Structure 1
Amino acid sequence: MPFRKVVLRMTAFILILSCGNDDGVDFEVIPPRLLSEVVIEDNAALQEYLQTHFYNYEEFQNPPADFDYQVQLDTIAGANSDKRPLIDDVQTITIEVESEDFDLEDNETVQHTLYYLVAREGAGASPTAADSTFVKYEGSLLNGELFDATAGYTWQYLPFFLRGYGQAMTKFKVGDAIVENPDGTTEITNSGVGVMFLPSGLAYFNGTTGGIPAYSPLIFKVSTGLYIPETDYDSDGIPSFMEDLNGDGDVTDDNTDEDREVALRSPAFPNHIDPDDDEDGILTRDEIIIDDQGNISFPDDDNDGIPNYLDRDS
């Protein structure tokens, strides 16, 4: 999948070419819809899906000898009319989404709800939304159309993916070991298995990519194998999850030195991928202290309440 911000900014507007005339070509610019408008439609669509579909919970409750621990989703109808609907099994996460997250100018802040289902709880711990995770996934639209999938486990640095996806991943536990099979292949034992259901405001919203239409709620089936605890993506000594300075669960919108980067006409990097968080020419790693036990302290030489690594004037 492409980086979230790149895709969203490249698809901020949809241009529809209309018939031209002798004076030239006319373009009709279709403005993005309001978050507050779309979220109502998305939630209604997700609720309807969850009420009319089920997963193979009976196999997870009493696994057959050859069960592959794959989630299967199907419609409650005909021979399956007595199945328990997904709505009875899912849990929810509510996240505030702002218009500016999608480069919109409506100044809206709208609550979005995603749904997730833990079909098998993993034996390990849970990653944060800022960790690198070893995962298998399959993405589809509500109509069942597949748009992405991995053949096996792959590493994902969660901040580079959809916000809703990263937040949902914190609710799944990983496996406990990598074992080698008699045929020489390896597998991860006791991995977490489940599904997440995302409104478009926690996915691509008005963006279109990889066969995903604008304003599409998405489904991801996941198997969480392993993760790197306290991932430090930029190797600056501070785990990425600790670089969420505004506490909104999203490290992609925390950039201490953005004004300086703009003034220098250099790329703007959020702190979690920036080895010099205050753009003072001194690496963040050299402005913090890490003791022998791995504990981090943050000196503030000028006692202004801002630690050195975030303070260009310290």
Structure 2
Amino acid sequence: MKKTNLLLICLLSALFINCEDNRLQPQIPLRDYEEQRAADNDSIISFLQNHYYNYEEFESASTTTRVSLTIDSLINATDKIPLIDQVIEHEVQVNDGDDNFISHTMYIIPAREGVGGSPSIADEVYVTYKGMFLDGVVFDESESKIWFNGLSTVRGFFETYPFIKHGVWDVDPSTGLIRHDGFGTTIVIMPSALGYYGSTSAPRQYAPLIFAIDLYTFAVADHDEDSVPTIDEDVDGDGHFNGSNDDTDGDGVPNYVDNDDDDDGILTIDEYDVDLDGIPDDSDQDGIPDYLDAS
């Protein structure tokens, strides 16, 4: 396993900066998000036009074999398919800190189709992965399978989950070991605002990132164990789970980590779906589910 937890550590470091260090060091303002978005996108487009990945290796590999991503220049490989001809574009809205939302483009390549379904951005995933900069330097990699808790990685990493399908597994009767087969692999090239942006603890500041993610299985996440899947606690469906629109009772605790979403004294788990019919209960039929209705 190589630097397995860097993805999570850098995210946490970006969020929780030591207060003493803040007093000792001058604070450097973050770059303008729109200007950085444009610069990153120009760099990414040029990269996509002039590089290819080892797609032939992915195509020929056994469905039980993990293929390590390599990316090379097209200069001496004019017969290869450039990345730009293989990508799917996905737009993500990034808050600049002043509640201005700026659209950032992720470029996604399904390198290998999995046989199962896809997780939501909030779910827990069992993966191997490789992280690179555009110049090919590998800054993080886990060759051993690892669980990531939903929403615990950089934004562009978990935004990729719906574009990967998981595989299947069984137990090898001769060894007792778990065997994984048919797992999907997706490559994502993302601007820096979906990665580490200006974090001083990041491997590089303001650097677009590349990840290859292999998905073996996943689990639907319920961060506060209130029986409501975390993905359904994004009330306005904007992909942001910590906004004021996702804090129904206004107590400063987002719904996805609040076990009483409407602060009516009744735990969400006791009023979400009491009759277990798969539909959130609405006792007074006012269109607001009981677990979000304090009246």
TM over 0.5: yes
Where in structure 2 are the equivalents of 1:34-73 lying within 5 Å?
34-63=32-61, 68-73=66-71
Aligned equivalents of 1:245 and 1:196: distance in 2? 27
CA 1:257–1:247 in 2, change beyond 3 Å: closer, same or farther? Answer: closer
Note the alpha carbon deviations across 1:40-70, whole angstroms, 9 max, x for none: 0110111122122211112233347996433
Aligned-pair CA distance for 1:177: 2.4
TM-score by length of 2: 0.85
- Partner residue of 2:240 out of 246, 250, 260: 250
Percent identity, aligned pairs only, is 33
Give the secondary structure class of the aligned counterpart of 1:251: coil
Aligned: 1:167 with 2:123: no
* Conservation of the 8 A alpha-carbon contact between 2:160 and 2:188: yes
Gaps of 5+ in 1: 18-24, 262-267
For 1:291, give the aligned amino acid.
D
CA 1:72–1:7 in 2, change beyond 3 Å: closer, same or farther? Answer: same
For 1:155, give the aligned amino acid.
W
Number of corresponding residues: 287
Note the alpha carbon deviations across 1:187-212, whole angstroms, 9 max, x for none: 21000012111111112222133x42
Give the secondary structure class of the aligned counterpart of 1:242: helix
**Which residue does the alignment assign to 1:285?**
269
TM-score by length of 1: 0.80
CA 1:67–1:152 in 2, change beyond 3 Å: closer, same or farther? Answer: closer
Gaps of 5+ in 2: 1-6
Aligned-pair CA distance for 1:142: 1.7
Note the alpha carbon deviations across 1:146-178, whole angstroms, 9 max, x for none: 222223211112312222211211111000223
Aligned: 1:109 with 2:101: yes
**CA-atom RMSD in angstroms:** 3.0
Give the secondary structure class of the aligned counterpart of 2:48: helix
- Partner residue of 2:281 out of 295, 298, 301: 298
Aligned equivalents of 2:281 and 2:137: distance in 1? 49
Aligned: 1:212 with 2:184: no
* Conservation of the 8 A alpha-carbon contact between 2:63 and 2:181: no
Aligned equivalents of 1:208 and 1:221: distance in 2? 24
Give the secondary structure class of the aligned counterpart of 1:233: coil
* Conservation of the 8 A alpha-carbon contact between 1:132 and 1:155: yes
Give the secondary structure class of the aligned counterpart of 2:193: helix
**Which residue does the alignment assign to 1:8?**
14
Aligned-pair CA distance for 1:305: 4.9
Aligned-pair CA distance for 1:296: 3.0
Aligned-pair CA distance for 1:181: 7.2
* Conservation of the 8 A alpha-carbon contact between 1:232 and 1:238: yes
- Partner residue of 1:307 out of 276, 289, 293: 289
* Conservation of the 8 A alpha-carbon contact between 1:55 and 1:73: yes
For 1:219, give the aligned amino acid.
I
Aligned equivalents of 2:22 and 2:92: distance in 1? 32
- Higher Cα Rg: structure 1 or 2? 1
Aligned-pair CA distance for 1:125: 0.5
Aligned-pair CA distance for 1:10: 3.3
Aligned equivalents of 1:59 and 1:141: distance in 2? 21
Aligned equivalents of 1:238 and 1:195: distance in 2? 30
Aligned equivalents of 1:285 and 1:123: distance in 2? 33
Residues 139-148 or 62-71, more deviating: 62-71
Aligned equivalents of 1:96 and 1:6: distance in 2? 21
Give the secondary structure class of the aligned counterpart of 2:15: helix
**Which residue does the alignment assign to 1:260?**
251
**Which residue does the alignment assign to 1:33?**
31
For 1:224, give the aligned amino acid.
L
Aligned-pair CA distance for 1:128: 0.8
Where in structure 2 are the equivalents of 1:174-185 lying within 5 Å?
174-180=166-172, 182-185=174-177
